[in-house]
Every structure is written in C-alpha cells, then in structure tokens.
Structure 1
Amino acid sequence: MTDTRHPTPRDARLLLILAGILLIAANLRAPITGLPPLLPILQPALDLDTTLAGLLTTLPLLAFAFISPLAPRLARRTGLEAVLFAALVLIAGGIALRSLGPQWSLFAGTAAIGIGIALGNVLLPSLIKRDFPTRIPSMTGAYALTMGVAAALASATMTPLATRFGLGWDGALATMIVLPLAALAVWWTRLSGRHNPAAMTTAGTRAAPVWTSALAWQVTLFMGLNSFVYYVIVGWLPTILLAHGHSATGAGSLHGLMQLASAVPGLLLGPLIQRSRNQKAIAVAVSLLIVLALGGLLAHPSLATLWVVCFGFGAGAGVTLSLMFMGLRTRSPEQAAALSGMAQCIGYLLAASGPPLIGWMHDAAGSWDVPLAGCLALALVMAVFGLLSGRDRQIHDTRPV
C-alpha cells in the first residue's frame, strides 16, 4: 500500500534545519581555502612578502584558538540560532571588507571571517546534537562532506574567476559572499522562533584535570601537529606548485582536489572505528600517509596530483580522528568538553604559527625543500603521538604528567 502521509510541520522544520546546517558548513572552510590560490596574484599587487602573506592564513587560526572558548557562553545567553546568525553576518561582512582592495581591509576582513568561522565551528555540532540526537554520525558526515566540497570548489575556482573571467583577485574573493548570504536567508526564518540554546558544557573545575593528563596532551599534540602541517599546505601549496612549474590555474585546481580529498575520511572512518578495538594502527597510518605525500612533493613533484590526494586524505583523516578522540578518550561530557577546548586551543595556536614560520623558512632558505622537510619531520612525530593517542584508554585511566 502506498504511503500517503503528508509532511508534517515538524518534518518541514527539520528539513529547514538540515538546509541551514549544510549551508553553514559550506561557510566553515571555503572563505579560508579560497585565498591561497590567489596569493601569486595578490602578493605583487599589494607588495606582500612571503611572511606577511602567511599571516593571512594565521589570522583565522588565531581566531579559532581564542574565540572558540567564548562561543558556548554566548549561545547560553542569546541562543544558538542568534549566535550562528551573527557568525554568518561576520563571515559575510569579512568577505566584503576583504575584497575592498587595500592591504588593511584584506587583513581586517580575514580576521572577521576567522571570528565568524570560529563560532560556527564550535556551535554547529551542538545544534546537531540538539536537533538530530539519533543521527549524529550521519549528520556529522554530511556536514563534513559539504564543508570539504565547498572548500574544494572555492580553491579550484578562484584563479579562473580572477584571470579568465577578469574579476581580479578582489572580485574573485567577493564572489564567495554568496555562501553566507544563502545561509543567512535560511537562518533568518529561524530567528522568528524561540529556541532554547543547546545544552553545552564547558571546562569547569571538574574538568580541569585534563590539563595534567598525559593522554590529553598526546591527543592535543596529535591534533596540533596535524593542524600545523595541514594549514601550512593549505596556505602554501599553490605557491609551492608554481615553483615546480605548474600553472596558476593548475595549482588552484590541485589545491581544490586536496580539499575534496580531505572531506572523504569523514564518511569512511566512522564504520571503521566502530569495528576497531583501538585506533593505534589507523592513527599511525594516516600520519605516514602525510609523510609519504610530503616526501613525494620533495622527491617527485611531477606526480603532484598523487601526492596532493594522499595529503588531503591523510590530513582530513587526522582531523576527523582527532575529533573522535574527544569522545573516545574521555569519561563524561564535561571531560570531553574540556579536552576539546584544550586540544582546539593548543592545536590552533600551533597551526597559526605554521604558515608564517614556513614562509620565513622559505625566504631564508631560498626554496621550498627545507620547509617541506621540516613538515615531514613533524608528521613523523605526529605518528608517535597518534600511536599513543590511539590506545584503548581514557583520561581517568592514565597518570598525570
């Protein structure tokens, strides 16, 4: 018998929330990953040296580190929808400001984008937990995939928009405002309702011991080193590829391919983790995949497509695994929130130092060989912390440092 059930108001509300979640996810990486492919055009136009250009990648990461702890408090006071709407306004305003042309607006707009994305990064999982409590894995996979695809499209299209379509670097960056505007159109309808903020916990006195836990530091450093290497490559891959003879359009396309590859593990790791007694082998494997990719870029840059896919998959798996460790290695929601806050704060501080440091190393060495070798060494260290983090233990089971 055919099911003639008509959609209920609740169904319509959930579909609207789903659309809103996916549209927010599309804004959480693309405004950052769309900039690096334009650096070869942007640097001479604004007279930016390599170190200063690296700060454009660093500013959002600093915002992630320092703004993230404030997001739950803001959501408790004003509601999840209101803060997420404000985050989208910040992203849209930052994109507009970044595209004005002067050097000061480029940096100010990038900072505003980073603040907006930091709020979305923290609160989107809380929204999923509140409105889709029985579908957390599938919803998380969907928004991770959306985030990766949007980031890939931004990376691949910026250079053609700037050159082939004659928009220039500023006009190409301005086109990304369609992402937050589309999300704002959906979230505006949500503000008319009255929704309690999601139940969230923060690192209070009970959760403070994570900072003295050896396991917590192992998880934090696994995530931090992965983030350091990932954002170095996000920031400098197009420039590295140009130095090895690739065209600007080709470098942008490979940058987009890397972003797309980084989204795939979000859909694959969940079932694999559920069947594994521990995650040691997986953590080491994804770290060594990054080592392989960086070594390949050093030794055989002509096979850049292969190395870019390997790097994107490995680094994306590292991020996904790090987020899983927040729940697997803790005994309570309070402890998980404390570990997440610790790992993201320290992790993004490490990541923020990467692009300018690597840019300085390039300027000092005169090539990308030394910076890439340094990142390769850090990926090997990451494998060690992955081995330690992947053990079937929880923070309460380990001794303090």
Structure 2
Amino acid sequence: MRSASDGGTRPGNVLTTSAGWGALGALLLVALNLRAPITSLPPVVDQVAAGLGLSSAGAGLLTSVPVLCFALFTPTAAVLVGRLGPERTILLALLGVLGGTLLRSTGSVPTALAGTAVLGLGITLGNVAVPVVIARDFQRRAAAVTGAYTATMNVGSTFTTLLTVPLAVVFGWQWALAGWGLLAVAALAVWVPTGRALAARHAGAPPSATAAPTAGALGAQRRLVVLLAFAFAGQASGYYAMTAWLPAILADRLGIDAAAAGGAAAPFQLAAVAGAFLVPIGMVGRLSARTVATGLSVMWLSLPVGLLVAPGAWWLWVCLAGAAQGGNFTVIFTLIAQRSPSVATARRASAVVQTAGYACAATAPTVLGAVHEATGGWTAPLLVVAVLLAIMAVTLWVASARPRTPSSLWVHDTPPD
C-alpha cells in the first residue's frame, strides 16, 4: 500500500499560503527535536555514568546508539513513510522522541539503554520523513527550507549543549535530560493539526499526469544517489569524528586544559547555523550548486589541514569547518529534493544516502580513536579525516553538476555552472 501523500504528484510550493507558512513553522518545531536529545547527553555523561554505575565504554554506548539506529533503521523508516505517509510518520517520530527521552531518564541501566534506542528510532523516522515533506511541499524553495531545517537542528543542539549542565546542577541529571521532552510536547501540539491538514490536502490530490521517467533519467537518478551516498558518508563521518575528538585534539595540540578546549570546539557547532543559511542565499544569488559545494568543501577541509600545518589559527579553521558542515548537509539534501522526479523517488534516495552515511559515521569516532591510540598522536587521525573529506569533496563536485538529462524530467534545476 502506498500513501496518497507519497505518490508521484508534485503539489508545488505551499509557502504561497498562510497555511503553508504554518506548515513550515510546524516542520521547524519538529526539527528542534531531531538532534537536541542526542547532544543533551554528552555534557552530563560523567554524571550519568556515575549515577548508573556505568563504565566509560557503557557511557560511550549511550552516546553512539542513536547514530547506530540511523544506520540500521533508515530503510525501515523509509518503508513506513511510504505506507503511512510522512505526516503520520513524523507523529510517530515525535512520540518516540518524547517516550525515549523520558525512559532514558528513569535512573536504571536497562531503561537508559532502551530509552536511548527508542529515541534513536524516533529521530530516524524524522530524519527520513521531514525531507520527504520538503521535497513534496516546498520543492520550489527546497534550498531555503532545507537550510532552515538544518539550522534549526543545530540551534536545538546548541541550546541543549549549553543549558543541560546548568539544569543538572539545579535539578539533577535525570530531570535535566527529561526536561528536554518539553520540546517534543510543543512540536506534537503543533504538528497534530498541521499533519492532519497536510494529509487531507494530499489525499484529495489528483493522480500525477507526469510522464514516466525515461531510462536515461532513471540512470541519472541512480548515479546521483550513489554519488550523494559517498558524499554524505564523508560528511557524516567527518562531523561525528570531529564532534567526538576535536576538544581532545585542540587540548593536545594547543596545550590547553580540557575545559578551555571544550569551549574552543563550540564554534564548530554554532557556525553550522550560519552555514545552513548561507547555502540558500548563495543559490538565490544564482550561484550554481557546484560552486557552493566546492566552496564549502574547501572550508571543511581547512580544519584537518589547518590543524596540521597552522594550528595557531585554530579558531579560523574551526569556524570555517563549522559553517561548512552545516552548509554541506543542506546542499546534499537540497539536491535530493530538487532532482528527484517524484516524491517516492526522493524518499528512496534519502533513505539510501542516509543509510550509507550514518553506517560510516557510526564507526568514525571509534576508528579515529584507534588510529590515535596506535600512533600516539593526532597527525594520522587528522589525515584520515582529510581523506574522508576529500572523498566527499570529489563526489559532491560531480553530483552537483547541472544534470544533462532534459529539464522536463527534473522537477527543478540549479543555475548552470
């Protein structure tokens, strides 16, 4: 069974109506919940480990389970979106985030692990369903909406990273983590009526009259998906590896204490908000997707290369890479939204790209830690990150070229290179 809202129709751009702006606001509230519960844990992970009697490995497992869920359950999430429609899937995602957040905070090891898994499953559903809504309802503004979506996720991450420790000091780590469930409650209150309205709108949509894509168009779509899968694997692996190890790298290479290194690494997350918004501005300014992607790739690569050759300018490399990692996420999923000939195709493409990317990302921090331990320094690990980002840069450069397939087979095209 395929949901009416996941068919081949392209209803256009709903931002031309007040209801469309309301739908965008609801979608951004959903986005607040798709990273914030994950980033709320690391600042208090030592307190959680002490409270639950966990070893360092056990505490690390709590932080890695959500990314493993992204890798393992994205295909299942894509099937659910196809059967239930993205509106009901997002509802399930928010319920999973809320339930997992509360269960994780109950104070026992089994419930902490189970809650973290439920939380990861909920976010996985949202990761797949939200891009489908963007591709279907905001396709003409895909870059801007994807940028806003990415930036909102980073805003949520920033809030939980900065505020969880002060909340834990006052209320304890359990209440501090559970309290972020209020974000899911707020999103549910807005999404329930919005999702119903969107589902009703698309349930009455007429069948698509668009001609079936030619073999050439389908072949181009497959090549695009493979290229973006490699690009997102490099992007996600670099992001999670540097998120895990950047404070330690800065502490060792700059000779500063752990607290100062943690503050020095913060712009890597904060600058992503600016990067996510710069991408649609660049595209509206008639820069091609390839031009934007190339500039972002150079900025991203400046972090490992800069820390190797000019560590004294670390603040510049951290800020440039932070903006780039937020921007590249936007570029990759904008390309999926713009160049998929149908909503169902966009859903499948997003699932493949995310499965490949998060499977690599789930192992990246461990691999980088193992290389550091084996070599006794950070030169080799930084070279590993540089190689991952170079693969990302090359594949994204190829993928972002203006498609040669006749434009009638593509729902949107980027400006020519």
TM-score by length of 2: 0.75
CA separation in 2, counterparts of 1:213 and 1:395?
A: 13
Alpha carbons of 1:159 and 1:297: their partners in 2 closer, same or farther (altered >3 Å)? farther
SS of the residue aligned with 2:336? helix
User: Which residue of the partner structure matches residue 7 of structure 1?
Assistant: none
Aligned-residue Cα RMSD (Å) equals 3.9
Alignment of 1:202-241 (within 5 A): 213-241=222-250
Q: Please give the secondary structure, in 2, of the residue aligned with 1:321.
A: helix
Partner of 1:150: 156
1:322 counterpart residue number: 332
Match of 1:344 in 2: 354
Q: Residue in 2 aligned with 1:392?
A: 402
Q: State the match for 2:146 in structure 1.
A: 140
Separation in structure 2 between the aligned mates of residue 192 and residue 287 of structure 1, nearest angstrom = 40
1:267: which partner in 2? 277
SS in 1 for 2:383: helix
Q: Which amino acid aligns with 2:36?
A: A
- TM-aligned CA distance change 1:212 to 1:248, over 3 Å: same
2:296 to 265, 268, 286: 286
Partner residue, 2:305: 295
> 1:263 deviation in Å?
2.2
Using a 3 Å threshold, how does the CA distance of structure 1 residues 129 and 378 change in structure 2: closer, same or farther?
A: closer
Q: Report if the CA contact (8 A) 1:36-1:238 is conserved.
A: no
Q: How many angstroms does 1:245 deviate by?
A: 5.5
Q: Is the 8 A contact 2:131 2:333 kept in 1?
A: no
| Conservation of the 8 A alpha-carbon contact between 1:264 and 1:313 | yes
Tell me, in whole angstroms, the C-alpha distance in 1 between the residues paired with 2:105 and 2:36. Answer: 15
Greater alpha carbon shift after TM alignment, 284-293 vs 113-122: 284-293
Distance 1:43 1:272, change over 3 A: same
Describe the superposition over 1:41-64 as per-residue Cα deviations: whole angstroms up to 9, x where unpaired.
Answer: 5566644346x5554443222322
1:27 aligns with 33
1:127 and 2:133 are equivalent in the alignment: yes
Contact kept, 8 Å, 1:80 with 1:196, in 2: the verdict is: no
- Per-residue deviation, 1:110: 2.1
Alignment match of 1:173 (pick from 171, 177, 188): 177
* Partner residue, 2:64: 58
Tell me, yes or no, if the aligned pair for 1:54 and 1:355 is still in contact at 8 Å: no
Are the equivalent residues in 1 in contact too, given 2:128–2:350 (CA < 8 A)? no
Residues 190, 383 of structure 1: alpha-carbon distance in 2 compared, 3 angstrom cutoff: closer
Q: Does the 8 A contact of 1:156 with 1:253 survive in 2?
A: no
Deviations 1:69-117 (A, max 9, x none): 3335434544544332221121112112222344443332222111111
Gaps of 5+ in 1: 1-9
Report the AA paired with residue 115 of structure 2.
Answer: G
C-alpha distance in structure 2 between counterparts of 1:211 and 1:344, whole Å: 19
Q: Which moved more, 1:255-264 or 1:70-79?
A: 70-79
- SS of equivalent residue, structure 2 residue 401: coil
Match of 1:195 in 2: 199
Q: Report the secondary structure of 2:106's partner residue.
A: coil
**Separation in 1, partners of 2:239, 2:120:** 17
After TM superposition, the score normalised by the length of structure 1 is: 0.78
Aligned position for 1:100: 106
Q: CA 1:166/1:294 → structure 2, altered by over 3 Å: closer, same or farther? A: farther
- Opposite residue 311 of structure 1, the aligned amino acid is A
My pick for the range that moved more, 248-257 or 285-294, is: 248-257
Deviates more, 1:242-251 or 1:370-379: 242-251
2:389 is paired with a residue whose SS is helix
| Alpha-carbon distance between aligned partners in 1 of 2:167 and 2:312, rounded to the nearest angstrom | 26
Distance (whole Å) between structure 1 residues aligned to residue 26 and residue 342 of structure 2: 29
Judge conservation of contact 1:98–1:105 (CA < 8 Å) in 2. Answer: yes
2:43 to 20, 37, 47: 37
Cα 1:383–1:259 shift into 2, 3 Å: same
The change in CA–CA distance for 1:25 and 1:364 in structure 2 (over 3 A counts) is same
Secondary structure of 2:304's partner? helix
Shift, 1:338, TM fit: 3.7
The CA deviation at 1:336 is 4.0
1:116 to 92, 114, 122: 122
- From the superposition, tell whether residues 261 and 376 of structure 1 become closer, same or farther in structure 2 (CA, over 3 Å): same
1:266 deviates by: 2.5
C-alpha distance in 2, partners of 1:392/1:309?
A: 29
